[in-house]
Chains A and B, each alone.
Chain A
Amino acid sequence: NAGVTQTPKFQVLKTGQSMTLQCAQDMNHNSMYWYRQDPGMGLRLIYYSASEGTTDKGEVPNGYNVSRLNKREFSLRLESAAPSQTSVYFCASSEDRRGLVTQYFGPGTRLLVL
């Protein structure tokens, strides 16, 4: 199993450009998440999807949109990138095994917005 995969690994954008970050998991997990990680801030939840067909806002959703395309895939879109969106983006999925919920992360996408 590949686990959680993300593309691209790195991206440089100019202010105002748009892009979509892709995420896929092959573990048959229902829940998927998008986080951003900035120095000194820890991981902050952007959006999550508790199950296929549902999405909800997290702590910092402004400037982002998401699509839960199917059970495997959860994409994050920046419609008009801003320098404040320079960050490392992690996708994650979680399983609930007999009440113990565990989260697994993709390798991350490093985004620089100029």
Chain B
Amino acid sequence: RKEVEQDPGPFNVPEGATVAFNCTYSNSASQSFFWYRQDCRKEPKLLMSVYSSGNEDGRFTAQLNRASQYISLLIRDSKLSDSATYLCVVNSRFKDSGNQFYFGTGTSLTVIP
């Protein structure tokens, strides 16, 4: 079983639409959770961290459900510039080996004019 699973999409949505991505993780001891954005042929960049209480950054809202082990990202009022691949990332900390990050394969979003 993969550590982190995401629906690869693609999601093709019109400008102004609301779109939601979900991700599940297998290790209940995971400690930190993130959404990264990756543009074509570029490196992943941190979009936002995800907290248990939920957090919002402008048009982006992230939620974490530890009981069900899933993470979500909601994008409101989609812009053309939101077109990218969104990676769900989970961090676990180990005493001897430090921090380990586990990546989903990414969900592709295309916002259409």
- Residues on A lying within 8 angstroms of B by beta carbon are 30-31, 33, 40-43, 45, 48, 50-51, 56, 90, 92, 94, 96, 99-108
Contact = CB atoms under 8 A, between A and B. Distances in A.
A101 B99 contact: yes
Contacts of A48: 97-98, 100
Interface secondary structure of A, over-half rule: strand
A57 to B, nearest CB: 10
Interface residues of B, number: 23
Contact of A105 (B44, B97, B99, B106): B44
Contact of B44 (A43, A96, A100): A43
B44 A90 contact: yes
B49 A100 contact: yes
Contacts of A104: 46
Contacts of B34: 102-103
A40 B91 contact: no
B104 A103 contact: no
B101 A107 contact: no
Contact of B101 (A50, A94, A106): A94
